[in-house]
Structure 1
Amino acid sequence: MSYPGYPPYGQAPPPQQGGYYQQPPPPQHGQYSYQQPPPPGQYPPPQQGGYGAPSPQPGYGAPPPGQYPPPQQGGYGAPPPGQYPPPQHGGYGAPPPPPQPYGQQPYGAPQQGYGQPPPQHGYGQQPPPQHYAPSYPPTPPSLGYGPPQIIAYNGDSDAHGLRQAMKGFGTDERALIRILANKDPLQINTIRDAYTRVHKRDLIKDVKSEVSGWFETGLVAIIRGPLLHDVHLLYDAMSGPGTKEKVLNDVLLGRSNADINAIKNEYSRVFRRRLEDDVRGDLSMKTERHFMIVLGATRAEDSVPVVKTEIDRDVNDLYNATEAKLGTDEMKVCSILSTRNDNQIRAIAYEYQQKYARSLEDVIRKEFSGHMEDALLFQLRNGLDKYMHHASLLEAAMAGAGTKDHLLVNRIVRYHWDRNHMANVRGAYEKRYRTNLASRIKGETSGDYERLLVACIGEVI
């Protein structure tokens, strides 16, 4: 779904030769890095060419040093740089040409004179080739969101260890943490299936009967795996009075089309309900329409390049929808930020700042309020710097009076599924807040709950 009359990417004039916008932005040289906690008062030095280090001279439209961070390499769900083949014409993912009856021209094509014979092709000659908009490889689903896979891992031993930790009098909570906190989504699925097959018992039910509180919440989130836990979070966020808008933002915004489609399918399978219908019933007015765009899964794939003419068009449309008029065209802004990939959002924000001397974030803060403001800022910040954005979400769950445990535990479990991503989030957190993330968590939590979260971010317990 896109804003009416707003052409999708790939249908604008071809990009000019040369320049930054001709192809996907160059890979960033280094990312946030995290090593073992340094001595007090010291911070790990960045890797050679790491975050904040001078990068090669950028092409047209690239932010100057000190401005928006350069495009991130290998972000959440993004394939490694250099893996995309050049755009294919009519390749995988390209829409097939509309079927036409033999000898009939498509609607709107030049018509031949009455009674005039159709054009003939000489013997052995091929009709002129048709031209289609270029297609780009789809962003692959995140680990745990794709089809089932068979992996070279046997979960029987870990399933036995989990049963032993809960069998008899008392529970070995540390054993539960050691076994579960360092597994990837595919390994967790294997362990859960092995537990059922070997012990004829349900692992989630056994864990719930042995532990409680936020420690239970964290363990159950891990055992379910990322996809199943996402759909349970969405269902719980929309059940009962009120809506947990921050949970909807965490689960749905900034996701790839593949992940969104997987979430919708799993939600329907588990609850026998359409996710779109439940979201419509819980949200209202333009915020509802905003999330319908998101659930439409029409976001530009990560392989779609940044094209200067399209960025300029988006910048002008954002200005005309906000600062240039009395009132705000909310759906225009929602459509742009919901259907552009991270590289495009980064370029849009930079060009907006250059052209109008105001940050796009300030414009959103001024023109919007409530849940829509929060959702748009989430999408913008996620596009600008995913790692720093996730670091700030962790701090937001711990800042102020009291810890927002439901946000903290679910965010840490979500980020921990990708170890490289979690390491970058830790590095971003320490760069911004000048403190060790593990120490910050320990100051807000305690007991087995604390040990579980610290193990999920990569610490040895």
Structure 2
Amino acid sequence: MSYQYPPPNQPPYGGYGHPQAPPQGYHQPYPQQPYGAPPGAPPGAPAGAPPPHAPPQGHYPPQQGYGQPPPPQGGYYGAPSPQPPAGYHTSSPQPPAGYHAPSSQPPYGQAPPHGQPPYGQPPQGHAPPPGGPGYGAPPPGAYGAHGAPPHGAPAMMGPPAMPSLGYVPGQKAPGDFRQQADMLRKAMKGFGTDEKTLIAVLATLDPLQMAAVRATYTQHIGRDLYKDVKSETGGYLEQGLLAVIEGPLNHDVICVHEAIDGVGTKEWMLNEILLGRSNADLNAIKSAYEHKYRRNLTREVEGDLSFKTADLFKTVLRADRREESVPINPQSVEDEVRTIHGSTAGRMVNNVAEVSGILARSSDAELRAIDQGFHRRYNVSLEKHLEKEFSGHMEDAFLHMLRTATDPAMRDAILLEECMAGMGTKDEQLVVRVVRVHWNRDHKERVKAAYRHRYGKNLIDRVREETSGDYQRLMVALLE
């Protein structure tokens, strides 16, 4: 699908530098709306002014109104639940009988077709399968009575977001997955291993389908799929297949443990697993980590980092960000813009705690508003300001949090290129990042488009250049 770039509702000063000229039609001035103006109001319109019947010719799409739900970003973190593939390749198993994939989302930045329900809501007359919640929905009581925030939660949390697809333990796709289980066992039984079949079956599954296939393999075959694949494969092919089999939640938990276990810390992995996440996903990760390793994740991470970054992650792991459902307070946005600038610009020592607190507690919608307000007031993007004022792990952490809110597709395009740029390939990072991108099909397509926009290359072709053999086949299959 086509990808409008910069993404709708985002200004052209997104902070990524754009080494090449933006696409035709994206060099016009970006219309700045005052806080409180309704979406679609012309630049300079007062709060409450009615939107015109059509936007002025040559302008960007109208900015999202503050306090409204954000547009579907398609990002892995906090994005609408990823959709199962529309169909399996002819070489891969067919969807099980009785399985109906959720309806696909419209193109990025577009409203649902006329007569369709808002994003995330089922069509009129749709009912979940008997005996359980709808596909991808949390089980009853996941958020307490009436879906209310947990007792003691801050008053401004608002109604909580659902966990991302694959972050509710024990949840599986409905249907019969014995065909997939049989194909996987046949590929590993006897002399030799059919790696192509392993890749063809596993690379097409969404998180809940993967959970169902793994459970079916145990029940139907009487063996452990993870152990069988581990014993039959090796190298980065093994690493990628096992990451897929674990699913997003378990893989996140394993990655966090690897990041802090032993000598040294993999800061990049901590950033990508823990920063910019929804409260629901963070709470799922913390609970699963404690269940698996019998240790408190917050204490483990805090003890492995230096003073300032330890404080940032401690704040993040409280999982008390303002929810996307909380309306944006324009005055608070202005105050936080000034606080960030006053805590950094012209100071001998930056007030890191102030900046950390703002970035850690703000919702993605608030961070987008702060980003826009900072540029409006100081005529420089917040991203460039953070790059100038910070360095090392703190800089990387702040930029990851900001990019997750402003442009998660470009964030991941940059991270993928960083794995492959220069001498040699950072294969461990490439595997982790490709697997994480592939869980959300819509987001994956945006990442590929963002990569082409920034680097002028096809992402899959670039990955082919950096990999080989079955490892290459898996990386390509996950990105297709």
Distance in 1 separating the partners of 2:460 and 2:157:
43
Instruction: Give the Cα–Cα distance (whole angstroms) in 2 for the partners of residues 451 and 280 of structure 1.
Output: 38
Q: Is the 8 A contact 2:180 2:201 kept in 1?
A: yes
Counterpart amino acid of residue 78 in structure 1: A
Aligned to 2:469: 447
TM-score (norm 2): 0.72
> Which amino acid letter does the alignment assign opposite residue 317 of structure 2?
L
Q: Note the 1:237-386 alignment, pairs <5 A.
A: 237-386=259-408
Partners of 1:345 and 1:69 in 2: CA distance: 14
Distance 1:94 1:255, change over 3 A: closer
- Structure with max Cα Rg: 1
CA shift, 1:316, in A, is 0.9
1:60 and 2:49 are equivalent in the alignment: no
Q: Is the 8 A contact 1:215 1:448 kept in 2?
A: yes
Question: Aligned with 2:282: secondary structure?
Answer: helix
Residue pair 1:253, 1:378 contacting (<8 A) in 2 also? yes
Q: Which amino acid aligns with 2:181?
A: A
Hey, what's the Cα distance between the residues in 1 that align with 2:172 and 2:254? 25
Structure scoring higher RCO (CA < 8 A, sep ≥ 6) equals 1
5+ residue gaps, structure 2, are: 1-6, 11-22, 44-58, 65-69, 81-104, 106-110, 112-117, 122-145
1:342 CA displacement: 1.6
Does residue 156 of structure 1 match 2:152? no
Aligned to 2:429: 407
User: What are structure 1's unaligned runs of at least 5 residues?
Assistant: 1-26, 31-44, 86-90, 99-131
Matches within 5 A, 1:47-86: 59-60=33-34, 72-76=71-75, 77-79=78-80, 82=118
Mapping 1:32-47, distance limit 5 Å: none
Q: CA, structure 1 residues 179+252, in 2 after alignment: closer, same or farther (shift >3 Å)?
A: same
**2:8/2:60 contact within 8 Å kept:** no
Do the aligned residues in 2 keep the contact of 1:214 with 1:449 (CA within 8 Å)? yes
* Structure 1 residues 404-434: Cα deviation after superposition (integer angstroms, max 9, x where no partner): 1111111110111111111111111111111
Asked if the contact 1:69/1:385 (under 8 Å) is kept, the reply is no
Check whether the contact 1:139–1:302 (CA below 8 A) recurs between aligned residues: yes
What is the percent sequence identity of the aligned residues? 45
Q: Please, which of 192, 203, 206 is the counterpart of residue 228 of structure 2?
A: 206
CA shift digits 1:244-278 (9 cap, x unpaired): 10000110111100000000000011111111121
Structure 2 CA distance for aligned equivalents of residues 305 and 215 of structure 1: 45
The CA deviation at 1:203 is: 1.0
**SS of residue in 1 equivalent to 2:163:** coil
1:225 partner SS:
helix
Deviation at 1:357, TM superposition (A): 2.1
Deviation of 1:29 after TM superposition, in Å, equals 8.0
Give the structure 2 partner of residue 123 of structure 1.
Answer: none
- Which stretch of the first structure deviates more once superposed, 262-271 or 304-313? 304-313
1:97 is displaced (CA, Å) by 10
Counterparts of 1:318 and 1:234, CA distance in 2: 29
Residue aligned with 2:192, SS: coil
Q: Aligned partners of 1:399, 1:69: CA distance in 2, in Å?
A: 35
The equivalent of 1:181 in structure 2 is 203
Is the contact made by 1:93 and 1:135 (CA closer than 8 Å) also made in structure 2?
no
2:148 pairs with 1:93: yes
Query: CA offset at residue 354 of structure 1?
Result: 1.6
Whether the 8 Å contact between 1:92 and 1:135 is mirrored in structure 2 is no
Q: 1:179 to 1:53 in 2, by over 3 A?
A: farther
Does structure 2 conserve the Cα–Cα contact (< 8 Å) formed by 1:215 and 1:449? yes
Contact kept, 8 Å, 1:29 with 1:55, in 2: the verdict is: no
Amino acid paired to 2:216: A
Secondary structure at 2:418 match in 1: helix
Hey, what's the Cα distance between the residues in 1 that align with 2:262 and 2:327? 43
**Contact 1:208 1:216 (8 Å CA) reproduced:** yes
> In 2, Cα distance between the equivalents of 1:68 and 1:436?
30
Partner of 1:422 in structure 2? Answer: 444
